[in-house]
Structure 1
Amino acid sequence: MPLRASPLGFGVLIVRLVPNGIEIGQAARIGPCDQSRKLVARRGRPQLQRTKWGGVVDNGLTGSGFFRVAERNGVFWLVDPDGGRFLSKGVNNIRFDQDHVGRTDRVPYAKACTAKYGSPQIWRTATSNRLASWKFNTVGCWSDELVASAGSQLLASTPTAELGASFRLHRRDQIFPDVYDPEFSAHIRVSAHQRCRHRRNDPGLLGTFIDNELYWSPDWRGTDELLTLFLNLPSHRPGRIAAISALQAHYRDFAQFNTVWRTQARSWEEFGRIEHVVAPFVRLRPGVLNDAIETKANLADPSREAFSADCDAFVAVVADKYFELCVSAIKAADPNHLVLGSRFGYQPLSGVIAAAGRHLDVVSFNCYDFDPGPVIDAYAAAGRPCLISEFSFRGDDAGLPNSSGAGPRVPTQTERARAFQGYVVAALSKPNVIGYHWFEHADQPAEGRFDGENSNFGTVTIEDRVYDELTEMMTRVNAAAESIHAAAVSTAI
């Protein structure tokens, strides 16, 4: 029976489970091209010829020795080092020592795997081969990269450089790194050299993430705007000076500014001495529904509209500077590989997406919805290929609390497998998507890891037992991924 119907262009992509694989069909379309097409990925039929990296052999593509991106007929693909048409199918946090219990020395997964395999190297080989048997081809974030070459099938790797995060930790008074600080540019160039240069000739490196889930605007972590965060830096910080200068350049005089911002100051000089600037309005986290609410509120209050415009303009400039500096630093250390973005933790404001599109090779984002379609469409505005760098579903029958952690909960492993299928098929139906990375390899401890997360995110249990229903579905969907994406090409005609 149909398990997913995804709108694509003027038609509908229909995906059905069949006894030996996945059947992909296209329903009748409205428009000049009315021919229905069907692609079937099924055992017993000729299999796609693949390169040693797992990419589909394509005579229209040539290898460069490194991973790159290509656009064909309006659809994005990765191209592997040997010229194969490639989609990155990855798993995050593939580690022998995954997840300490709280902040203790206890690592239940490592204990179970020591008893089962005897050594980390034997575990690496077994795990690499198991992932390849599930048709994954990429070792995702926070993983032991030795897993990528430990098995019989080469896997790509995607490390995180943590350029902005490492500077933010260096400057403890910053939630977001002060990109105006001259030391920021110096810091990220040194960090990029240390973390990226040694991999510049590695064909197995798919690309490098700059950071993970930086704070761009109100989200689950708080209601602050990036502008107010910069205004509340210490008075000598370059970011505070830049924020005040931006406001001064925009408003004709202080009285006009204060009509919007409603501070206790009576001049720019007094405003510069305020230790803590309080935002006059609190905005909702960006997103389709919230954006509509914000638009309505702005229409009702010109001051709120002006405040929103101030915040949006500033974060767009900061984003442009951040991506320009970070991409430049990574490319100086490693000119051969893709820069995969900063793994947006939520859909940021449109100005941030536009800035990402101007500088990145690939825009990456984490999305824990059942249907990623609307979020993917928002990122399409960047004009760049997109990689879903994190998603997952948690089953309530796994015996774990599931009380802390991102993403939807479902009743059973059967529903978890179906959720994976629906999500990935919907994602691959979008022409700008070039891959998806599942969070994560093994379940979290029931007692909670360092941040309290205690959920059924794994492809395996904490005792390294495989979730059969989930991984069987992953195998079938991963094997059909290129055909699903190619079907999206046909609907775009």
Structure 2
Amino acid sequence: MNGCSSDKASEPKNIDKPSSSTPEYETLSVLTNFDDVHLDLSAENANFKVIEGKDGNELDIEFLNTARFSGVHLDFETPQDWTKYNEYHVALDVENTGDESIQLFLSINSAGSELHRHIAIPTGERMTIFAPVDGVFWNIGSGFRENPKPWSTDELMFILIYGNYFMSNDSVTRISLNTRTNMANKHLRVDNIRLRKNQEYDETFLHDFVDEYGQNANVDFPTKIHSMEEFRSVHDKEIAALDKSKPLPDRSRFGGWKDGPKLDATGFFRAEKVEGKWWMVDPEGYLFFSHGIANVRLANMFTVTGMDFKDDSIRYRDPEELTPEDSIGAIDIPEAVLATRYLASDVRRNMFNWLPEHDDPLGNHYSYRRSFHGGPLPHGETYSFYRANLERKFGETTKNSFLKDWQEKTLTRMLDWGFTSMGNWVDPAFYPNEQVPYFANGWIIGDFKEIKTGNEIWHAMPDVFDPEFERRADLTIAQIAKEIEGSPWCVGVFVDNEKTWGYRTGPVERRYFLSVAAMGMDAAESPAKAAFSEHLIGKYKTIDTMNERWGTTIESLDALKKGVTFSEYNAALEADLSDMLLMLSNRYFKVVHDALEKVLPNHLYMGVRMATWGMPQETIEAATTYTDVLSFNVYDEGLQPFDWEFLREVDLPAVIGEFHVGAISDNGLTHPGLVFASDQSDRARKYRVYMDSVSGHDNFVGAHWFQYIDSPLTGRAFDGESYNVGFVNTADVPYPEMINMAKDFNTSLYPERFNRPLTVPLEVNETEKATTEAVPN
């Protein structure tokens, strides 16, 4: 639909009137009120119409669940220059007319830059929501993913989802309102899209933001701890309930389905297809579905204090270390280093209304990070409020005895909540437990060569053809084997996480940037480039043949080895770039597989937990050759069949390595995470929808929630994640809505999945092939 063209400027319609909880705003510009549209409107996998509302026209949108992306684009007839304004935001009036919350994404495009934010809109009431565009207070170096609202208002604020806080705003061309991975159609009415002046704010709005328990000092909420007396009361009440708890009666010793079919007992976990459905099988032969919580550890519960040390010895890194920085737990800071302590960020330090001295009783919860992935400082002192709260809760009868108490309580919780296992990144201190199955994990880090592309999310891709990579893989997996000690309680092993392989769809530069980057390198310096060059020369023999096929003008084979770049990609070149990515992926998975086979032949290789932005077809193909179970981290509302049809084609089991849902309306946190709910009840509902979609898929044999504990309010030290993603908060208080929903799902997990009809019924001639087995490679 084309927007109506008119010389008459749009006028605001009864907007921005002050109330007891919302201040009066100055409207700088009404972009559209849908009476005089001044925009070109178009839909992408969505339906829309301009309708008559209570106060003039408004836009009615139906977001569809038939594609990953569903949205409406509002394109300006001429680019808008917003640089004439400062300290402003975009506001719009909305009404969710459906029966469940909407995670709405807002994207603003300007001169090649983009701003991306999201919000959870509850059902029912009409409301005004706003998205920061320009303001000093959003760029003060706080170091966590989203600052709180800097002025008092009940209006909901869009939260940063990815990308930058700001964009270049001199040539704004498009505003998009969209949803992602809807499990059901969503309905939204929109009106009065406008620019408003920010309210005056107090420059000290982050001062004393965090209380002594690591909670938001300025907000009250149901699970907040207000005193030590309340702390003890909440703890005692939970302990009394847990003391009466027993594992679910249909569970085997290892968490399998005791009331279901009994298959061969091999003494270790395996994966097997039974009557058309993939399952895991526990060591005793019972069907097993792995549902549990990932990241049950304390390493990520530290936050940056703003202090640092001048003594460089604290930043020494042993080149033979096997644990990456973000996975290291608490470290003791030597007295000589403490003597060089200094203030590195007053913004960070001023956030806390309490931090102990290093020699105080709770001073043992300080630690240090030698580097951060992102944040206000390159390195610095950290503190764990969660760890301190554990000591407050359990006391300390011997050094760090509270850690043992926490581990025991955590295992009891997992069984009480009905989980069958723990997920990835469980602290190795849990490995000896014989109550809850777990997955071991490790990282391949070291001084091997890399393929740097500029597209890295976490780290550059290792050059897997470098012999040093293979050596480091052997060391890492030998350490995992030492920690596991052959235990049958270890289901399998995850190695590495969310590597930047390339995108599954899109142009060549998005799918094959690893191959393109390697081709630009010198074969004398890059083992991957040397391997690719050898492959290409063996295939084409001469540079003339290669140029003819690729449509290129490379001078010689020596020039090819030195490094080449491409401006265009024909079908032959694209096919070769695909082959190179497959070679790289095959090499990676083979190295890891072979290292595991040498020392852990009885445990499942669970793969690399591919993210949705890093799971190209070539890498999946390689994983199917060498892993026992495919693994994916999927932060969506649920699994849509159109995204996972390939699993039926490869006919292998898969597990979700990470998913979560968060909210911010009732917990004091400032960022929900990657999937946004309106409150804790909605969060629990979305968790259930997700898990029903996983258990309802014939190929998936498990899903692991990320994570056990909320991120620190001021962001985890590694990268500032400050998400409501825990089953418990920073005071170790469980969210009752989540616990109750988990219990409800887990109680009926096995019979419901077993008795559910196949998504794709078995053909008559396939019935005899209904049971196949996948034992560890």
With structure 2 as the length reference, what TM-score do the two structures score?
Answer: 0.50
Q: Report the equivalent of 1:171.
A: 449
Cα RMSD of the aligned pairs, angstroms, is 2.8
Equivalent in the alignment of 1:248: 537
- Alignment-mate amino acid for residue 438 of structure 2: S
Matched with 1:53 is 254
| Structure number, greater radius of gyration | 2
Q: CA deviation at 1:305?
A: 3.2
Query: Which one is further off, 140-149 or 380-389?
Result: 140-149
Residue 442 of structure 2 aligns to a residue whose secondary structure is coil
Kindly indicate whether residue 624 of structure 2 is the aligned counterpart of residue 357 of structure 1.
yes
Q: Which amino acid aligns with 2:487?
A: D
8 Å contact kept, 1:199–1:334? no
Counterparts of 2:389 and 2:645 in 1: how far apart (Å)? 42
Contact kept in structure 1, 2:450 and 2:462, CA below 8 Å: no
Tell me the amino acid that sits aligned with residue 139 of structure 1.
M
Residue 198 (structure 1) shift: 5.0
Once the two structures are TM-superposed, the CA of residue 258 in structure 1 deviates from its matched residue by 4.7
Q: How far apart, in 2, do the equivalents of 1:343 and 1:411 lie?
A: 28
Answer yes or no: is the 8 Å Cα contact 1:96–1:120 preserved in 2: no
The alpha-carbon deviation at position 474 of structure 1 amounts to 1.2
Comparing both structures, which one devotes a greater share of its residues to strand? 2
Pair 313,490 (structure 1): closer, same or farther in 2 beyond 3 Å: closer
Cα offset, 1:265, TM superposition: 4.3
Asked whether 1:90 is paired with 2:292, we answer yes
Percent sequence identity is 27
Q: Which residue of 2 aligns with 1:320?
A: 586
- The gaps in structure 2 that reach 5 residues or longer are 1-64, 67-247, 305-368, 370-380, 396-401, 453-459, 763-777
More displaced stretch, 328-337 vs 132-141: 132-141
In structure 2, what is the equivalent of residue 402 of structure 1?
A: 671
Q: 2:700 aligns with which of 427, 433, 454?
A: 433
**Aligned pair partner of 1:130 in 395, 409, 413:** 413
User: Any runs of at least 4 consecutive aligned residues in structure 1 with deviations exceeding 6 A, and if so which?
Assistant: 259-264
Rate the CA distance shift 1:158–1:345 in 2: closer, same or farther, 3 A.
same
Deviation at 1:124, TM superposition (A): 1.0
The farther-off stretch of 468-477 and 431-440 is 468-477
* Superposition TM-score, scaled by structure 1 size: 0.77
Residue 154 in 1 paired to residue 435 in 2? yes
Sort the Cα spacing of 1:232 and 1:471 in 2 relative to 1 into closer, same or farther, 3 A.
farther
* Count of matched residue pairs: 418
Counterparts of 1:367 and 1:130, CA distance in 2: 25
| Alignment of structure 1 residues 262-273 onto 2, 5 Å | 265-273=554-562
2:670 partner letter: P
Q: Aligned-pair distance for 1:358?
A: 1.5
Report what 2:652 is aligned to.
Answer: 384
Query: Who is 1:311 aligned against?
Result: 577
Shift in alpha-carbon separation, 1:120–1:48, aligned structure 2, 3 A: closer
- For the residue of structure 2 that corresponds to 1:309, the secondary structure is helix
Deviation, structure 1 residue 396: 2.5
| Inter-partner Cα distance in structure 1 for 2:298 and 2:394 | 11
Please state which structure has a larger fraction of its residues in helix.
1
Instruction: Quote the residue 1:38 is aligned against.
Output: none
Q: Could you say which residue in structure 2 is the equivalent of 1:368? A: 635
* Preserved contact between residue 295 and residue 426 of structure 2 (Cα < 8 Å): yes
Question: Contact 2:276/2:758 (CA < 8 Å) preserved in 1?
Answer: no
**Residue among 379, 382, 401 paired with 1:105:** 382
Which residue is 1:141 aligned to? 424
Q: Is the 8 A contact 2:604 2:628 kept in 1?
A: yes
CA distance in 2, matches of 1:87, 1:196: 24
Unpaired segments ≥5 residues, structure 1: 1-5, 8-46, 282-302
C-alpha distance after superposition, 1:412-431 (max 9, x if no partner): 11111111111111111111
Q: Residue 239 in 1 paired to residue 528 in 2? A: yes
Equivalent-residue separation in structure 2 for 1:76 and 1:192 (angstroms): 27
- Return the offset for 1:381: 3.3
The Cα of 1:366 is off from its aligned counterpart by: 0.5
Q: Which moved more, 1:416-425 or 1:51-60?
A: 51-60
Which residue, 466, 471, 474 being the options, matches 1:181?
466
